[in-house]
A and B are shown apart, each in its own frame.
Chain A
Amino acid sequence: DAGVIQSPRHEVTEMGQEVTLRCKPISGHDYLFWYRQTMMRGLELLIYFNNNVPIDDSGMPEDRFSAKMPNASFSTLKIQPSEPRDSAVYFCASSLEFRGQVFFGNGTRLTVT
């Protein structure tokens, strides 16, 4: 299996622009997670899905952030409009079972100037 695939690996954009991060989970995994990692706040859970349905989005910082999972093999995290404080590494992860081993993608390093 190819693992969790995220794109792009790096994204540099200007403040105010829309940013879309993409994720393909491991086939057959029912849970998909979006995390953000910064030096100040560490790893934060933004949102997670179970069987394509958003279960908990309480970690989404504000309305500028939105996430979708239109099918079992694809998810997006969108920031509109982006701000410099959104600069971070965004990880997508998936797992097969309830509280099972979580497999992480390689992350997308986002820089907003």
Chain B
Amino acid sequence: AQKVTQAQTEISVVEKEDVTLDCVYETRDTTYYLFWYKQPPSGELVFLIRRNSFDEQNEISGRYSWNFQKSTSSFNFTITASQVVDSAVYFCALSGDRDDKIIFGKGTRLHILP
């Protein structure tokens, strides 16, 4: 069975601090994809990144960075110099190669305090 665990239910940090959101996944598939989505207070879900299981390079996009480690089945997301606009619920998700669906974690609610 596939599973995504986001152990941090809620995190609060002060603006400009760095914050890391944890994601641990389980799958028996050898090929799989990992995703991060953002859900701001307005409610829509916004795609942030997709990573396949053969690409373990870390990725950086502006203040966002992702650390993929197959050895620990983790795909963590770091926001550097956080801003109030980063306040949202962040979802990690997994899709294996045996079917087309994406399984989401329960999400981490991030509060950036001014």
The interface of chain A, by Cβ under 8 A from chain B, is 31, 33, 35, 42-43, 45, 48, 50, 55-56, 89, 91, 93, 98-107
Contact = CB atoms under 8 A, between A and B. Distances in A.
Contacts, number: 48
Contacts of A45: 101-104
Interface of B: 33, 35, 43-47, 50, 91, 95, 97, 99-107
A35 B95 CA distance: 15
Nearest to A59: B101
A9 B28 CA distance: 38
Contacts of A50: 100
20 contacts: A31-B100, A33-B101, A35-B104, A42-B104, A43-B91, A43-B104, A43-B107, A45-B101, A45-B102, A45-B104, A48-B101, A56-B100, A56-B101, A89-B43, A93-B45, A99-B95, A99-B97, A99-B100, A104-B45, A106-B44
